[in-house]
Structure 1
């Protein structure tokens, strides 16, 4: 399985997003929060994706494949009660890293989270977040999208 090495943070202050790429995202989970793997459907603008994730924390297994809208629509009803909607802003950080900032809608508003993927664990652990990043939630299960989709905002 491919690996995803990623750190996640709450957003303390929204940065200037004028140069960032924006996409509208809706995603739903075919698996439940207590399942050992995560199977997710995602629509990102006009792209449709099926993603399998395994593990927790900094390093996780991940496989993703693009699917058709018909395939997406076939399985979407099975995600009822396990969905989120958000705007995703993708932009550049110093050192060539990319951030993905999610601004959640609906019951998860006003939650804002940002994630950064890294080529190695060493780079992830040595990363110094910019000032606009808030508290790190990489290892806080309550802020995993699959948990948020079912349980809502952490108390």
Structure 2
């Protein structure tokens, strides 16, 4: 069995594009693991779906395993994420080239940050991807923009970026 992998690139978004054809979801996620842990364990609630996710690795190719859990299980574990949480609205849509995008509009201390991610079937496809004009700076390799980093110290980054 192949190891489940996530191959994605992430970009900043300087101005919101037309999202009339995209679908929004309210999303909150928290990290069970501590900052120094090399593997991250994350809880995510997206509308009425609850997921426990394990991620490891660096760069644009990472190992990812997810399992759906019940709301009661999520609620039991959620307190363990105190101080390591993010909330955002995720807009899912389709690019002209057929790729799916996930545009995240962050709330709370992380506002006004907006990022967009695109997943790929291979590392070669990710490298060859030509982003549309509304995409901003590529932050795929910048660990400060990983959701775990944003959950831990994103408010400081946001103050630096938008001061």
Q: Could you tell me the TM-score, scaled by structure 1's length?
A: 0.98
Gaps of 5+ in 2: none
From 95, 98, 106, the counterpart of 1:96: 98
Query: Structure 1 segments of 4 or more deviating over 6 A?
Result: none
Give the number of the structure whose residues are more often strand, by fraction: 1
Residue 154 (structure 2) aligns with: 152
Residue 35 (structure 1) aligns with: 37
TM-superposed deviation, 1:81: 0.2
- The superposition leaves residues 4-24 of structure 1 with CA deviations (integer Å, 9 ceiling, x where unpaired) of 000000002211001101000
Alignment of 1:142 with 2:147, yes or no, is no
TM-superposed deviation, 1:95: 2.2
Aligned residue runs from structure 1 range 6-155, under 5 A: 6-153=8-155, 154=157, 155=160
- CA distance in 2 between partners of 1:14 and 1:33 (Å): 31
Matched residue pairs, number? 155
Q: Could you tell me the TM-score, scaled by structure 2's length?
A: 0.93
Gaps of 5+ in 1: none
- The superposition leaves residues 30-56 of structure 1 with CA deviations (integer Å, 9 ceiling, x where unpaired) of 012221101000000000000000011
- The superposition leaves residues 74-119 of structure 1 with CA deviations (integer Å, 9 ceiling, x where unpaired) of 1000000000000000000122100000000000000000000001
